[in-house]
Amino acid sequence: MAEQAKRPVKITETILRDAHQSLIATRMSTEEMLPIIEKMDKVGYHAVECWGGATFDASLRFLKEDPWERLRKLRAGFKNTKLQMLFRGQNILGYRHYADDVVEYFVQKSIANGIDIIRIFDALNDLRNLECAVKATKKENGHAQVAICYTLGDAYTIDYYVNLAKDIESMGADSICIKDMAGLLVPYQATELVTALKKAVNIPIDLHTHYTSGVASMTYMKAVEAGCDIIDTAMSPFALGTSQPATEVMVETFKGTPYDTGLDQNLLAEIADYFRPLRDKALEKGLLNPKVMGVDIKTLLYQVPGGMLSNLVSQLKEQKAEDKYYEVLAEVPRVRKDFGEPPLVTPSSQIVGTQAVLNVLAGERYKMVTKETKALLSGEYGRTVKPFNPEVQKKVIGDKKPITCRPADLLEPELKKIEAEIAEWKEQDEDVLSYALFPQVAMEFFKYRKAQKTGIDITEGDKENKAYPV
Amino acid sequence: MAEQAKRPVKITETILRDAHQSLIATRMSTEEMLPIIEKMDKVGYHAVECWGGATFDASLRFLKEDPWERLRKLRAGFKNTKLQMLFRGQNILGYRHYADDVVEYFVQKSIANGIDIIRIFDALNDLRNLECAVKATKKENGHAQVAICYTLGDAYTIDYYVNLAKDIESMGADSICIKDMAGLLVPYQATELVTALKKAVNIPIDLHTHYTSGVASMTYMKAVEAGCDIIDTAMSPFALGTSQPATEVMVETFKGTPYDTGLDQNLLAEIADYFRPLRDKALEKGLLNPKVMGVDIKTLLYQVPGGMLSNLVSQLKEQKAEDKYYEVLAEVPRVRKDFGEPPLVTPSSQIVGTQAVLNVLAGERYKMVTKETKALLSGEYGRTVKPFNPEVQKKVIGDKKPITCRPADLLEPELKKIEAEIAEWKEQDEDVLSYALFPQVAMEFFKYRKAQKTGIDITEGDKENKAYPV
Ligand SMILES: [Co+2]
Ligand SMILES: [Co+2]
């Protein structure tokens, strides 16, 4: 391949965010990260993803750490490497839509505390839910990477992705991420998709996937051959299974080819040596379940994320209706169609899954509905790729007039009010944002923080084991 | 890719041999296999590897099963699928060179009891050590697949492999296997190697690798694109880690491409559902160590199989010389060069590794040598790819004249003698072969078998956990 021009692929390292979020319920602490970041800073990664996603919530809730303090410490150590965070559009890092003033302030403070690249996505791929965050990022001179949730379904043609990518470029995004939460993008499909996107836009393409279904490294390989600029990988001790392909493996694979990353395997080996005992500890403690290290091909068979399948099983167990599993599995794609065929990712995966269970158990479709189903069919989450099934919508929301505007346009500014609520606990400006996103959890943390200073320990970290791979 | 001609890739399933040998120390019992083989028989595999390698020894030693009886039961169940075994050339399934009459008789009985394809290899790639087995296979109308041990080193150029492949075709082999025990064949190198072999020979090419270093699925992909006819995979519950890539993953990857295997994912899912509880049980019992499920990139860094590295560590620990690890690691390639640069696979990996340890600990190279080092440098294992270092050879074997002929030419027929030795225990002709290969273990088994019939249990399976991935 000597004749081909060099086109080194760039590596975004996920071990400090997505890898431990996916494998060990986001439980890696700042203390466990700091001793190795000087070495990581020498690797020459395109970026290190280290903040956002579930790490913010998990820091406050389980680790009793201030996430802002973590960010500042990482920034101090990573002198030459770009730091990246994951940002859920108008949901920021939380679970509801926030007013624009909160979104803008969060972006501002994220960048002020050290973030370089903000990866912004919306569960419905409704770009209106990203506008505010993207604008704020540009205003703060950050790199705005907009992520497309990758999913399968009639509506999700190559043309759909191409048009979305063009709109993203027009929005002023600096790069595009194909975000394949469930590992649904198979290798030869990646060839087609990346080839089409590279033709359609000029900004760099980053591919993010998970090893869940076992195809991820091959998918990266085909994507890179088709022109993908950046791939997301995790150092081997926290790679594979529900996490990303291993960094060292992809580096080795492309060595001596036009895509050679140029990264130093011996340096990576030293970094892996540091993380390996953390993996062993997680295995011992049961935090890392060997079951998530295998291959779950059912994700591809049913086109449903692995986590959603296990949720269905446990919901049916609770109702003593495990015999309805295959009926529910058949109902899922029908509900998804009724709901405008959204990608199945938090929160749409839960909404669709729960409604499918209710439809089967009630013996009549949409006889029982959740409030989230109502909100979704009222347009409160935004616009889906296809219209809602009008009959289902009518049955669920009656004569209520659905929202068609950008949902956040209906939200009043809320920062002032939040600021007032926690005035007595505030030790830094950023506390307002912690409280805005997770009022209860942040308040408990503030109390804990105060108690630490006064020497009285009034609370303890919640040890419940929750995983949110995104 | 509609314009490309269809070229379906064939799948050899390893779950009944290499997969459990590599992951759970060859402990899958016949009883665990039988309930699923009717379904497996419907898949349309090119072959199911289910016998030979370490399964013979493990059946007798640990499971207290007659391996011949297993083979007959598998043959009875697999009505439409070819059964394949792994055969170590003149070593058969044992650890020394046997006389030709034993080799011939073993081949004859393997085929008579149900084997269709015999994969034959030699640790030094000395084809003279395969001649007898290949001829015997052809005589019994079996499919003789000759395996090339894949390794790295100055001598192991594409030309080396091409010449070897041509010689194998000339020997009358029905197909060629590239046998990558350690997962050293990286993807773009697979493109070059397979392309060259396909040009050089007309018989089918089968690629066998292990996931150890994390590149295996990508290596299969590039090999298939380059024309590889058959790949070896394992059903997902016993795939990855030190085993093979997952069957379902490779099937899914090639679906809809010119390489489409045509296998039915729903049927494969049912088979995986059967094996998953066996995996869970192995994890619970500690038989499957989650550590072997990860990626061991050191294999690629040091070009030494993972198992050999851990052997070096434990040898040095025993000698309280762990600080010499990197010195020994540097000595390994030097010893390998002195020994004519053999592939590092049983038994050469042990011979080279132990000698490297002795050279470092003694403070003088080849001051202390093992009897295996002497035998190797006397030519008793066969011919290496490069000549031995004459100075080292002289220091080790002195004026003794090295063997240059085929080692087995010096062995007298031994079958008669063996037959006489166990006459009183013999219940079937095949018992002679069990005893020929593993005299002690077979004798213990014969006693156990007799005791079972008389109702007196005089022995119990050895529970020691040993793994031999080949
Ligand atoms: Co992710
Ligand atoms: Co093998």
Whether residue A458 is contained in a domain is answered as: no
- Chain B partners within 8 Å of A265 (Cβ): 297, 300-301
C-alpha separations of A94 from A54, A373, A470, B82, B218 in Å: 9, 19, 13, 56, 37
- Ligand number nearest CA of A233 is 1
Rounded (5°) CA angle A29-A34-A38: 150
* Host domain of residue A125: 10-285
% of chain B beyond a pLDDT of 90: 85
- Phi-psi category of residue B331: left, alpha or beta, with phi > 0 → left and psi -120 to 50 → alpha: alpha
Whether residue A443 is contained in a domain is answered as: no
> Are residues A394 and A337 located together in one domain of the fold?
yes
Measured distance between the N- and C-terminal CA atoms of chain A, rounded to whole angstroms? 36
Q: How confident is the model at residue B456 (pLDDT cuts 50, 70, 90)?
A: low
Q: How confident is the model at residue A43 (pLDDT cuts 50, 70, 90)?
A: very high
> Are residues A139 and A224 located together in one domain of the fold?
yes
- Ligand number nearest CA of A53 is 1
pLDDT digit string, tens, across residues B41-76: 999 999 999 999 999 999 999 999 999 999 999 999
Q: Kindly tell me if the per-residue pLDDT of B247 is higher than 80.
A: yes
Say how far apart CA B37 and CA B32 lie, in whole Å.
Answer: 10
Q: Residue A122 sits in a domain of what CATH number? A: 3.20.20.70
| Mean pLDDT of all residues in B213-228 | 97
- The DSSP code for A246 is B
- Ligand number nearest CA of B86 is 2
Specify whether the CB–CB gap between A158 and A171 falls below 8 A: no
Name which of B210, B303, B295 is nearest A249 in CA terms: B295
Q: How confident is the model at residue B439 (pLDDT cuts 50, 70, 90)?
A: very high
- Ligand number nearest CA of B244 is 2
Say how far apart CA B30 and CA B9 lie, in whole Å.
Answer: 29
B370 Cα distance to chain centroid: 24
| Mean pLDDT of all residues in B319-344 | 93
Whether residue B83 is contained in a domain is answered as: yes
Q: Are residues B186 and A255, on separate chains, in Cβ contact within 8 Å?
A: yes
Whether residue A299 is contained in a domain is answered as: no
Q: How far is A136 from chain B (nearest CA, A)?
A: 40
Count the domains in chain B: 2
Specify whether the CB–CB gap between A241 and A221 falls below 8 A: no
* Ligand 1 center from residue A305 Cα (angstroms): 12
> Are residues A310 and A281 located together in one domain of the fold?
no
pLDDT for the residue A457:
53
Q: How confident is the model at residue B1 (pLDDT cuts 50, 70, 90)?
A: very low
* Ligand 1 center from residue B195 Cα (angstroms): 36
* Ligand 2 center from residue B368 Cα (angstroms): 33
- Chain A partners within 8 Å of B298 (Cβ): 269
Q: Are residues B240 and A186, on separate chains, in Cβ contact within 8 Å?
A: no
Which residue type is seen at B26? T
What is the ipTM score, two decimals? 0.92
pLDDT digit string, tens, across residues B263-279: 999 999 999 999 999 99
pLDDT digit string, tens, across residues B386-410: 999 999 999 999 999 999 999 999 9
Instruction: Tell me the residues of B at the A interface, defined by beta carbons under 8 Å apart.
Output: 1, 186-188, 213-215, 217-218, 221-222, 236-237, 239-240, 245-246, 248-249, 252-253, 255-257, 265-266, 268-269, 272, 279-280, 283, 288, 290-291, 293-298, 300-301
Q: Are residues A246 and B214, on separate chains, in Cβ contact within 8 Å?
A: yes
Q: Kindly tell me if the per-residue pLDDT of B469 is higher than 80.
A: no
Q: Are residues A297 and B213, on separate chains, in Cβ contact within 8 Å?
A: no
pLDDT for the residue A309:
81
Q: Kindly tell me if the per-residue pLDDT of B436 is higher than 70.
A: yes
User: In this predicted structure, which of A203-212, A301-310, A366-375 has the lowest mean pLDDT?
Assistant: A301-310
Whether residue A75 is contained in a domain is answered as: yes
Q: How far is A263 from chain B (nearest CA, A)?
A: 13
By CB atoms closer than 10 A (0-12, 13-18, 19+), residue A360 is: buried
Nearest CA in chain A to B254: A188
Specify whether the CB–CB gap between A218 and B255 falls below 8 A: no
Single out the residue in B285, B318, B340 at which a domain terminates: B285
pLDDT digit string, tens, across residues B333-358: 999 999 999 999 878 888 999 999 99
Where is B278: in which H helix or E strand? helix B265-285
Instruction: Tell me the residues of A at the B interface, defined by beta carbons under 8 Å apart.
Output: 1, 186-188, 213-215, 217-218, 221-222, 236-237, 239-240, 245-246, 248-249, 252-253, 255-257, 265-266, 268-269, 272, 279-280, 283, 288, 290-291, 293-298, 300-301
Q: How far is A469 from chain B (nearest CA, A)?
A: 19
Specify whether the CB–CB gap between B116 and B47 falls below 8 A: yes
pLDDT for the residue B96:
87
Whether residue A418 is contained in a domain is answered as: no
Q: How confident is the model at residue A470 (pLDDT cuts 50, 70, 90)?
A: low
Q: How far is B380 from chain A (nearest CA, A)?
A: 37
pLDDT digit string, tens, across residues B12-48: 999 999 999 999 999 999 999 999 999 999 999 999 9
Q: Kindly tell me if the per-residue pLDDT of B468 is higher than 70.
A: no
Q: Kindly tell me if the per-residue pLDDT of A459 is higher than 80.
A: no
Tokens for B259? 């390489």
Say how far apart CA A408 and CA A397 lie, in whole Å.
Answer: 20
Whether residue A415 is contained in a domain is answered as: no
| Mean pLDDT of all residues in B179-192 | 96
* Ligand 2 center from residue B417 Cα (angstroms): 33
pLDDT for the residue B3:
60
Specify whether the CB–CB gap between A153 and A125 falls below 8 A: no
- Chain A partners within 8 Å of B213 (Cβ): 249, 252
pLDDT digit string, tens, across residues A110-121: 999 999 999 999
> Are residues A338 and A236 located together in one domain of the fold?
no
> Are residues B155 and B236 located together in one domain of the fold?
yes
CB atoms inside a 10 Å sphere around CB A220 = 28
% of chain A beyond a pLDDT of 70: 96
Specify whether the CB–CB gap between A232 and A256 falls below 8 A: no
Q: Are residues B301 and A1, on separate chains, in Cβ contact within 8 Å?
A: no
Say how far apart CA A81 and CA A157 lie, in whole Å.
Answer: 36
pLDDT digit string, tens, across residues B128-144: 999 999 999 999 999 99
Single out the residue in B370, B386, B404 at which a domain terminates: B404
Q: How far is A73 from chain B (nearest CA, A)?
A: 30
> Are residues B329 and B211 located together in one domain of the fold?
no
- Kindly report the average pLDDT of chain A as a whole number: 93
Of B236, B280, B294, the CB nearest to A237: B294
pLDDT for the residue A466:
46
Q: How confident is the model at residue B173 (pLDDT cuts 50, 70, 90)?
A: very high
Q: Are residues A217 and B217, on separate chains, in Cβ contact within 8 Å?
A: yes
Q: How far is B318 from chain A (nearest CA, A)?
A: 22
Single out the residue in B230, B255, B285 at which a domain terminates: B285
- Chain A partners within 8 Å of B300 (Cβ): 252, 265
Q: How far is A150 from chain B (nearest CA, A)?
A: 17
> Are residues A31 and A80 located together in one domain of the fold?
yes
Whether residue A465 is contained in a domain is answered as: no
Ligand 1 being an ion, which residues bring their Cβ within 5 A of it?
A: A 18, 470
Which residue type is seen at B204? P
> Are residues B277 and B174 located together in one domain of the fold?
yes
Mutate to test the interface with B, among A191, A224, A252, A284 (most CBs of B within 10 A): A252
pLDDT for the residue A2:
47
pLDDT for the residue A465:
45
Of B1, B222, B295, the CB nearest to A236: B295
* Ligand 1 center from residue A469 Cα (angstroms): 6
pLDDT digit string, tens, across residues A135-178: 999 999 999 999 999 999 999 999 999 999 999 999 999 999 99
Of A456 and A334, the one with more pLDDT = A334
Q: How confident is the model at residue A463 (pLDDT cuts 50, 70, 90)?
A: very low
> Are residues A229 and A323 located together in one domain of the fold?
no
> Are residues B32 and B167 located together in one domain of the fold?
yes
Q: Are residues A249 and B279, on separate chains, in Cβ contact within 8 Å?
A: no
By CB atoms closer than 10 A (0-12, 13-18, 19+), residue A404 is: exposed
DSSP, collapsed to helix, strand or coil, labels residue B373 as helix
Q: Kindly tell me if the per-residue pLDDT of B458 is higher than 70.
A: no
User: In this predicted structure, which of A263-277, A311-325, B410-424 has the lowest mean pLDDT?
Assistant: A311-325
Q: Residue A326 sits in a domain of what CATH number? A: 1.10.472.90
> Are residues B226 and B344 located together in one domain of the fold?
no
> Are residues A322 and A221 located together in one domain of the fold?
no
* Ligand 2 center from residue B22 Cα (angstroms): 8
* Ligand 2 center from residue B211 Cα (angstroms): 10
